[in-house]
Amino acid sequence: MLFEKAQQLLESHFGYSSFRNGQESAIQSVLAGENTICVMPTGGGKSICYQIPALVLPGTTIVISPLISLMKDQVDALVQVGIPATFINSSLSYSEANERIREAKQGMYKLLYIAPERLESREFIDDLKQMDIPLVAVDEAHCISQWGHDFRPSYRHIQQMVFSLPQQPNVLALTATATPRVREDICETLAIDEENSIITGFERENLTFSVIKGQDRQLFIRDYLKKNEKEAGIIYAATRKNVDQLYERLKKQNINVARYHAGMGDAERIREQDRFLKDEASVMVATSAFGMGIDKSNIRYVLHFQLPKNMESYYQEAGRAGRDGLESECILLYSSQDVQVQRFLIDQSSDRTRMTQELEKLQQMVDYCHTESCLQEFILKYFGEIETESCGHCGNCLDSRSSIDVTTEAQMVMSCVIRMGQRFGKTITAQVLTGSKNKKVMEMGFDKLTTYGILKDKGLKEVTDFIEFLISQDLIAIEQGQFPTMYVSPKGKDVLLGKVQVQRRETVKVREISKDDPLFEVLREVRRTIAETENVPPFVIFSDAALKDMCAKLPKTSEEFLNVSGVGELKLKKYGLDFIQPIRQFCETHPDRQPELLTATAPKKAAKKAVGDSHLETLQLHQQNLSIKEIAEKRELAISTVESHLLQCAQQGMEVDFNRLIPEEYMVLLEEVVNVIGRDRLKPIKEQLPEEVSYFMIKGYLYFLSKKK
């Protein structure tokens, strides 16, 4: 009964006909009165997991968030859809905060957002005791764990606060970046049974990850921003000085840029942030101080000008892109000198007990930059996912450069590491290999080794990069400490013994993220005008995904407009006519423009993802009987991308002819194996089949089966 009410509220307030993956399980767990942990990727819709229960349950739900800007964004968005909500944090005056507490005690709000530091005040806890609180939602819950990347001591007060409240409210912990160890810590601290863990996986299918090495970063950014000037994006830099330099340089290039770092005054930071949120500035250059609490959904790219300190920070910052579900890019511009910058920042840390852990995390970030395997898969494994496969659309998966055999060079490097006693770092090892006459090399007698100078035809940087590559392939391991040292791993020893070969790939082009659509620009302008009038960021009115859906469905009546993803009854009433009229006018002047039709079985959610997406073009060519290889050649795409497009279309209920894509003899084999093993997990199926039967064929066969049913 409660869950039926939850579904109705989702439709009427938020304009969605069904919950996303994981949301339903989390909400059912909360409504059943269970303490719950919910791990979803950024943009996966975590906030719905407590906002809907807050509407269903009596009283006021408390949301604990460390992010002042996120509180304001979320409260603005909730008020827009008719939900009474407010926040209390340090941005308010004493009298404003007291007034909101008084109103909260009177039950005027369904959601009250607070900063964790408030829980250090006994007076504030006494105020909470006078409210009817059924649920406490802990956002960014990884902050509670000392093993997390952003430990906040004030989060440790949450458990005590919950136990002190007369109603003993339930707890919902939410995070996007928690390794298994951090999840365990969250559950233990907040008294959550690990069986009540909702983990949807960390994959963000709409994000494309790339690492750019060995290119002029300034030049790359200039070209990239020029090609994507209509899109909003963030450029992260490691230090305040880097932010200021980059900001000034981009300003001189007439780029509409804002900046943000902790060295700026509060008023200036808020002003710059608002410019970006309201689309008055298209690019934000910032340190990691910016963005965690930004709910801006139409960020199309995140560029990292320098290496972040760990994978959690990187995935959280990169995850600012594409929160609306549309295709977006995450590009890391790598230079080996950035590692020294991050090591210096770690060395400045006052918490010496965490230093070894932080250095290990930094090394994993360096490994990410040097791996030649799938980047998305690397991230998923880092966060504890075991059954993973290549994404098919990251920079490495789409890299068409041929591979060369570097086994001999790898053996030379590892042989040198062993001859040096496996107790030195990258730099001096590279110096020995290149035959350097460096004082330390000579004093240590390394010029007498048989491996001295065996790579003297290569530059020091080239050899250092190659060593980084060998580390990323787990052939050389690192012993962390004040001076990290290298040793040959068991896998590396197999290479030395000639049991395993080592392959390595031999300038990355800048591309446009999305194609121009004149109607989209018209609707974007309508949205901007309304946002200015209401003094809220444009994405609060409608996300880019909603505008793209309007461009696809071309709604000309209120009923049709209500079918647009993200349009609820309140938004129809408030803005329907503002958007329907320009759509009608556009259709009159462009009679050739027709709504993009999905099959009758395609759900509303599918329409949102399909709009203007590249996979529809692939489907069209497939329906013209072109083979996967022919489509790949015609569209200049990798075969894996074409396969990914076709699977995406099948998932969204569109017609894909897998009979034509999977050879008949493989169909027979697939049928036999699936009948024995079942269809729940792909890996066991793959292991029973010949190498030529790809994951694409397995997935395709399973869709074919489900359709037959």
Q: What is the DSSP string of 185-214?
A: HHHHHTT--GGGEEE--S--TTEEEEEEES
Q: Which of 455, 483, 505 is the last residue of a domain?
A: 505
Residues 373 and 422 in one domain: no
CB 74 within 8 A of CB 114: no
Three-point CA angle 443, 444, 449, nearest 5°:
120
Number of domains in the chain: 5
**392 occurs within a structural domain:** no
CB 38 within 8 A of CB 174: yes
- How many Cα atoms occupy the beta-carbon half-sphere of 680 within 13 Å? 3
Residues 430 and 478 in one domain: yes
Q: What is the CA radius of gyration of the chain?
A: 27
Q: Which of 461, 478, 505 is the last residue of a domain?
A: 505
Q: What is the CATH number of the domain that holds 211?
A: 3.40.50.300
Q: How far is it, in rounded angstroms, from Cα 60 to Cα 458?
A: 66
**75 occurs within a structural domain:** yes
- How many Cα atoms occupy the beta-carbon half-sphere of 470 within 13 Å? 34
427-450 core/surface letters (b: 16 or more CB in 10 A; e: else): bbbbbbbbebebeebeebebeebe
3-state secondary structure of 200: coil
Residues 574 and 451 in one domain: no
Per-residue pLDDT band at 245 (split at 50, 70, 90) = very high
Residues 60 and 15 in one domain: yes
How does pLDDT run across 56-114, given as a tens digit for each residue? 999 999 999 887 777 888 898 898 888 999 999 888 888 999 999 999 999 999 999 99
**390 occurs within a structural domain:** no
Q: How far is it, in rounded angstroms, from Cα 161 to Cα 159?
A: 5
- The single-letter DSSP state of residue 92 is S
**Rounded mean pLDDT, 133-150:** 84
Residues 590 and 622 in one domain: no
Residues 639 and 663 in one domain: yes
- The single-letter DSSP state of residue 130 is T
Q: How far is it, in rounded angstroms, from Cα 138 to Cα 127?
A: 19
Per-residue pLDDT band at 598 (split at 50, 70, 90) = very low
Q: Which of 173, 199, 225 is the last residue of a domain?
A: 199
Per-residue pLDDT band at 152 (split at 50, 70, 90) = confident
Residue 190 has pLDDT above 70, yes or no: yes
Lowest mean pLDDT among 199-203, 545-549, 619-623: 199-203
Residues 155 and 111 in one domain: yes
Question: What pLDDT score was predicted for residue 316?
Answer: 85
C-alpha closest to that of 385 among 396, 397, 374: 374
- The single-letter DSSP state of residue 352 is G
Per-residue pLDDT band at 417 (split at 50, 70, 90) = very high
Structural domain including 697 reads 609-708
Residue 559 has pLDDT above 60, yes or no: yes
Where are any strands of DSSP class E within 251-402? 257-260, 283-286, 299-304, 328-334
Residues 188 and 226 in one domain: no
Residue 373 has pLDDT above 60, yes or no: yes
How does pLDDT run across 470-492, given as a tens digit for each residue? 887 879 988 876 678 899 999 89
Residues 168 and 245 in one domain: no
- The single-letter DSSP state of residue 71 is H
Where are any strands of DSSP class E within 576-665? none
Question: What pLDDT score was predicted for residue 293?
Answer: 55
Residue 463 has pLDDT above 70, yes or no: yes
pTM for this model (two decimals): 0.56
Residue 184 has pLDDT above 70, yes or no: yes
Per-residue pLDDT band at 515 (split at 50, 70, 90) = low
Q: Which two tokens stand for residue 121?
A: 């005040």
